[in-house]
Amino acid sequence: MPVHTRQSDDGETRTIAIEGRFDFSTHQAFRDAYEKGSEGVHHWVIDMSDTSYLDSSALGMLLLLRDYAGGDKASIHIENCNGDVRRILAISNFEQLFSIR
């Protein structure tokens, strides 16, 4: 599975890590990762340490997660992006919608 999830002990923070290419083929796995058993999750962390690349459909999936997590009130951090991933997020100005660190 290229998508892994971990939950904090208090159950409030869920971390989703994507391995390899984050593109349309990851769609179902990514959706499962934020939908399944996520009652009580208030903070989201997308861990991109092992993400080699993301395309525009991945950007779309991040928007879907943002909607799911409460839209403008969502708390989502995107972490550990490599240069390519950071570039794509920057071109699309996603730092206006997500906290990228």
What does the binding site for another protein look like in residue numbers (CB under 8 A)?
A: 56-57, 59-61, 63-64, 67, 90-94, 96-97
Q: How many helices (H) and strands (E) does the chain have?
A: 3, 7
Which of 7/94 has CB closer to another protein? 94
AA identity, residue 35? E
Which of 78/97 has CB closer to another protein? 97
Which of 49/92 has CB closer to another protein? 92
Which of 10/72 has CB closer to another protein? 72
Question: How far apart (Å, rounded) are the C-alpha atoms in residues 68 and 32?
Answer: 12
Closest CB 94 distance from another protein, rounded Å: 7
| 2, 21, 38, 50, 67 from 45: Cα distances, Å | 16, 18, 13, 14, 15
Closest CB 93 distance from another protein, rounded Å: 5
Closest CB 65 distance from another protein, rounded Å: 9
Closest CB 27 distance from another protein, rounded Å: 9
**Selection from 48, 50, 49, 38 nearest residue 74 by Cα:** 38
Lookup: tokens for 41: 């999750």
